[in-house]
Structure 1
Amino acid sequence: MATLKEKLEQLEAAKHLLVAKHKEPDYLDIMDEISSPSKWAREWIKDSKQKNGRLFRNHRPANASDIPIQFYHRIFETFINLYRIAKYQRGNVNLYLNWHLSCPVHFQMKTIGQMLSDAGSSYFLINEIEIRPEEANIGCQSSRTGERRTDGSIYPKIGRDRVLLVNLEVKPEPGTNGDSYIQNSAYYKEFVIKSRKEKSEFYNKTCLPAFLINLDGPYLSISGAVSVPFMVWDRLTDIFPLDMVTYDHTKADYIARILLALKNSMDILRKYYTSVRESREISTEPLQDNRWFPCINKIDLEEGTATIKYKERHSIYRSLWIVEIQAKNMQEKGLVKYTQKYFKEAHDMCFKLGLAPKLWAINNLQQRWHIVFMEYLEEYQPLHTYDSELFFQTKNIVKNAMKLFHDSGYVHGDLRDENIMIKCENGKIDIKFVDFDWAGREGEAKYPESLNPTINWHPDAGWHKLIKKEHDHHLVDNIYLNIKPDKSSKKQRRLSEWMN
């Protein structure tokens, strides 16, 4: 029987195929074997559950991330908007302050569970559902996710199946038996696995959106979770200290606004699940034909608004989806990219030179994110996928193309083999450059903070430093050197080298 380590290695080799074709069983089976939630929280760093891949998109480590969670389900965008603009009565703040002042030195789960329950009838939570702290939930299935007892759950039954609206995880003090955010996300994992095993209609029709309340001593935060099919968790609020509000009413007002927004959002989320049950199909959310796609289904083009129909995820490691775009007098197969930065001018210039796919539109989203819609290079493959004979025939072609781009006054910054697309037809090689996130005019474009120090960048490359032509040459030359680095070159540069 294969060990867990062997299974993880098998998953790493096959995960791109599993996700691209939306086949999730191996993925969830492996998650089901990775320890209990409490053990997760204690041993996350000691025995990383991420291994060499990104099983869990929880920002631990930082590159284990995905697109913001509100792009998968609009309930999280609703929550963010509500707590920023919510109006509330002064009684909301008084209720919160009274609860805080009655807390013991340690913020016990019974206390916060009681606070949330008591608040239900008047301010914060849905009347028909109780939050049950751990002491009270023995034998009470409605307060469990999967088969685990929790510090409190809003876990109503809708039709024959249960849905998780919110889960509470409490640690008496920060650092006590692990991290509440990690353990809470593990409870969500248990809930997803249980939903799949029981063939829940909500598992089959939704991305199972849920809220997570994390409390480490006096430090409170709200997170969101979805399954797409790998699990994505995002903090939706700051981590705010409850022990400061006795003399800081500004913070008390802010927390009251968040709790009120959470109450209203959970009410909306419950109605969403109810509508799924009643209609037997997703009709109130723009999640398209598959529950694992982003919920943004419109894009503004020069010709007007177009509808996005997602077909499949292009890459498990990149925020790219193959789509069909339908608009008046237009139906195109394209590629949608979610990114925080994109330089349209450089992409357009490269397209004019015949060296990039056509760029149709860039739309702004929340939190300074953008959605980019471009031509899908269906007949092209990344440079590294070709055999060695054809691979080395591309060297001069790539270098000449790079020179054309440079001569137009631009630099790329990330000309690795995965961003150079090749098509070979009738003995003729054609290339396209992609991924213009960092590109820009020479003398203006700079490297971001997300520069990966494990990659063999030019020695002068670093955070916020200018991208230069010789840096692009360095990356392209390294593609063709095909020399395995020695042990010393595998060591990461010191963080200070990248920041200075």
Structure 2
Amino acid sequence: MLSKIYFVLSHYSFPLITEYHTTVARGLEGNSPSVAANPENFFRTQETDPILNGRPLCNTGPPITLYNKVFSKFLDDFSNVNLKIPSDFLSWTEELILAATNGYGDEEERNEAIRGKFSEKFSTMLLIEYGKKKQKCKSDGMIVTEVNLINAYLGILEGKNEIGTAKNDPTIQGAIYYRDYWSQSNVDQIRDFCCVPTFIIGMAGPWFCILGGVFLSRVVIQPLTDFIPLTINLRVSDQVKRISRLFYSLLLAIKELREFYHNLKQEETETEQRFFPCIRHYKIGEIVHHFTYLCGLLDDHTRTIWKAKRADGKLIVVKFASKYNIQGHNICAEHNLAPQLLYSSDDEEVKALGGFKMVIMEYICGIPLDQKYLKDEIKPQSCVSIIEDVKKAIDLLHEKDFVFGDLRAPNVLIVDTNDGQRAVLVDFDWCGKDKLDEYPSSMNKKIQWPIGAEPCALLQKEHDLYWITTLLTDYLSRYTYRIPSGLGNPSGSGISSGSGISSGSGMSFGSGMSFGSRMSFVQDDND
């Protein structure tokens, strides 16, 4: 039997656990979901105690596929046009389509009809109340499984009679129901063990959307499908199969989710790990390395990168990325210009993680260049070695026709050594082949990118040279008496590159870009 758990606090986990208890308290004390989901109320609450559902977009959480593989299974099955669907389920789908496309006098009449259809295949869809006597709440339907006499919630239905007949978005109201159901004290023994993954079925008339939810320090809700209409032509086989595949994929995923809850073990006492991704080991050859997450490395819910510790005590960085250039990283790592890469996911694991590659590298105790600059911790005598390291890394990449792509100061890590300071590059997500691979489809508009660096534009070596110039002018020039006029304007793109950097009589990027005959890295007294 699951027993009551008490978190063992560490300096890493304290902020997460504090925020977690705040989220639980909000679920216990907040308005009923029908009131809380009203747009005016919801967006006001999102400013202080947000549900990470992308409303507004700054309240976007990490990919839920990293926290339980059941969500990836659903996505994989739904996208598999060759998924074998039993004939009886195809017949049931047709009945569901007929029920969903009918007209109903009110919301409850529709919900009752849909609950009945779902109960035929997904186990009985229940109406479960929670809350205090004066404010009892219940969603439009619950799919549950019993774990040691406690209901674990597998699916939540939130339906509206038709689009436009209710004030609230069913997906938002369903998200609030998810938070509130899992915040109740009768399920805290399950919630404290894991991130309580659950599916949410949003319905508006004949339109259905499947979402997933996990309860981290904040609740994270993400749509797994768009709103899909069941108003199809039953004579078109592909349309019927697609709708059938949608709900059959959900059925298979819920069956797997039921097994997940039944297999929860009492001895799982490291409950702090509930806040982190579900994958906690990697394999090199026959050696399996287990690790424990310690903390996030960035204060951004969408940046999936954590500091972790292996069982042997080695500190590592665990990153999940939809795109990562392993070859480019290794080119720099071989010359100690990037952290040593320890592991990267194969295609099978990428699929299991919902399209994300797990990249594991050594942990380096360093601070990004921009933070070093703000703290005034750049050593003047190390400026040459810092920029030489950056230039050498870019030269090595360019020799192999790679472009780093995002050579901004946050991606240049400054490491303090006995001899001074040096630089290593991190974050090879954008790295790709010169004039072959593209920039991502979304780029921060507040940043002054080099000319030609635009969403989905081709990567160019010249853009890396632009950033080298920018690093010099914006972060290292304060440690010199002057910035030569020959350095050029960083906002332009006409930068030439020579064979390397010389710290002897001058510091040169080629004949057209020189620091002159006397380059000093002594901080200007007037700065």
Q: Tell me the TM-score normalized by structure 2.
A: 0.73
CA 1:441–1:264: 2 relative to 1, 3 Å:
closer
In the other structure, the counterpart of 2:73 is: 78
Aligned match for 1:69, one of 49, 54, 64: 64
User: How far apart, in 1, do the equivalents of 2:370 and 2:147 lie?
Assistant: 49
In the other structure, the counterpart of 1:320 is: 305
Q: Deviations over 1:117-136 (max 9, x none)?
A: 34534xx212xx4334xxxx
User: How far apart, in 1, do the equivalents of 2:357 and 2:257 lie?
Assistant: 26
User: How far apart, in 1, do the equivalents of 2:17 and 2:340 lie?
Assistant: 26
Contact 2:111 2:140 (C-alpha < 8 Å) held by counterparts: no
Q: Secondary structure at the match of 2:317?
A: strand
CA 1:481–1:63: 2 relative to 1, 3 Å:
farther
Aligned match for 1:263, one of 242, 251, 260: 251
In the other structure, the counterpart of 1:382 is: 368
User: How far apart, in 1, do the equivalents of 2:12 and 2:58 lie?
Assistant: 17
User: How far apart, in 1, do the equivalents of 2:58 and 2:282 lie?
Assistant: 27
Indicate yes or no: 2:216 matched with 1:209.
no
Letter in 1 for 2:339: P
CA 1:54–1:173: 2 relative to 1, 3 Å:
same
Q: CA deviation at 1:280?
A: 2.0
In the other structure, the counterpart of 2:103 is: 105
Q: Which 5+ residue runs of structure 2 have no aligned equivalent?
A: 1-10, 479-527
Q: Secondary structure at the match of 2:441?
A: coil
Q: Secondary structure at the match of 1:449?
A: coil
Indicate yes or no: 2:106 matched with 1:117.
no
Indicate yes or no: 2:43 matched with 1:47.
yes
Q: Percent identity?
A: 22
Q: CA deviation at 1:222?
A: 1.2
In the other structure, the counterpart of 1:432 is: 424
Letter in 2 for 1:383: L
Contact 1:54 1:64 (C-alpha < 8 Å) held by counterparts: no
Contact 2:13 2:295 (C-alpha < 8 Å) held by counterparts: no
In the other structure, the counterpart of 1:448 is: 440
Contact 1:161 1:200 (C-alpha < 8 Å) held by counterparts: no
5 Å-filtered alignment, 1:344-355, equals: 344-355=326-337
Aligned match for 2:279, one of 296, 300, 303: 296
Letter in 2 for 1:424: D
Q: Secondary structure at the match of 2:377?
A: helix
5 Å-filtered alignment, 1:42-441, equals: 42-43=38-39, 47=43, 50-51=46-47, 55-62=50-57, 64-83=59-78, 84=80, 86-102=83-99, 103-105=101-103, 108-121=107-120, 124-126=121-123, 129-132=124-127, 140-141=129-130, 148-155=137-144, 157-175=146-164, 176-194=166-184, 197-198=185-186, 200-276=188-264, 279-282=265-268, 290-301=273-284, 303-304=285-286, 306-315=288-297, 316-317=299-300, 318-325=303-310, 332-363=314-345, 364=347, 365-366=350-351, 367-377=354-364, 379-386=365-372, 388-391=375-378, 393=380, 395-408=383-396, 409=398, 410-426=402-418, 428-441=420-433
User: How far apart, in 2, do the equivalents of 1:416 and 1:20 lie?
Assistant: 29
Q: CA deviation at 1:319?
A: 0.7
Contact 1:170 1:180 (C-alpha < 8 Å) held by counterparts: yes
CA 1:423–1:119: 2 relative to 1, 3 Å:
closer
Q: Which 5+ residue runs of structure 1 have no aligned equivalent?
A: 1-14, 483-500
CA 1:49–1:457: 2 relative to 1, 3 Å:
farther
Contact 2:439 2:453 (C-alpha < 8 Å) held by counterparts: yes
Contact 2:386 2:421 (C-alpha < 8 Å) held by counterparts: no
Q: Which moved more, 1:368-377 or 1:403-412?
A: 403-412
Contact 2:160 2:205 (C-alpha < 8 Å) held by counterparts: yes
Contact 1:21 1:312 (C-alpha < 8 Å) held by counterparts: no
CA 1:27–1:116: 2 relative to 1, 3 Å:
closer
Q: CA deviation at 1:349?
A: 1.9
User: How far apart, in 2, do the equivalents of 1:217 and 1:304 lie?
Assistant: 53
User: How far apart, in 2, do the equivalents of 1:118 and 1:241 lie?
Assistant: 17
User: How far apart, in 2, do the equivalents of 1:30 and 1:471 lie?
Assistant: 48
Q: CA deviation at 1:168?
A: 0.8
User: How far apart, in 2, do the equivalents of 1:61 and 1:213 lie?
Assistant: 21
CA 1:29–1:357: 2 relative to 1, 3 Å:
same
Contact 2:162 2:206 (C-alpha < 8 Å) held by counterparts: yes
Q: CA deviation at 1:469?
A: 2.2
Q: CA deviation at 1:210?
A: 0.6
Letter in 1 for 2:21: P
Choose 1 or 2 for highest CA Rg: 2
User: How far apart, in 2, do the equivalents of 1:151 and 1:21 lie?
Assistant: 31
Matched residue pairs, number? 443
Q: Secondary structure at the match of 1:105?
A: coil
In the other structure, the counterpart of 1:25 is: 21
Q: Secondary structure at the match of 1:271?
A: helix
Q: CA deviation at 1:388?
A: 3.9
Letter in 2 for 1:190: D
Letter in 2 for 1:186: I
5 Å-filtered alignment, 1:470-489, equals: 470-473=465-468, 475-476=470-471, 477-479=473-475
Indicate yes or no: 2:38 matched with 1:38.
no
User: How far apart, in 2, do the equivalents of 1:231 and 1:388 lie?
Assistant: 34
Contact 2:122 2:143 (C-alpha < 8 Å) held by counterparts: no
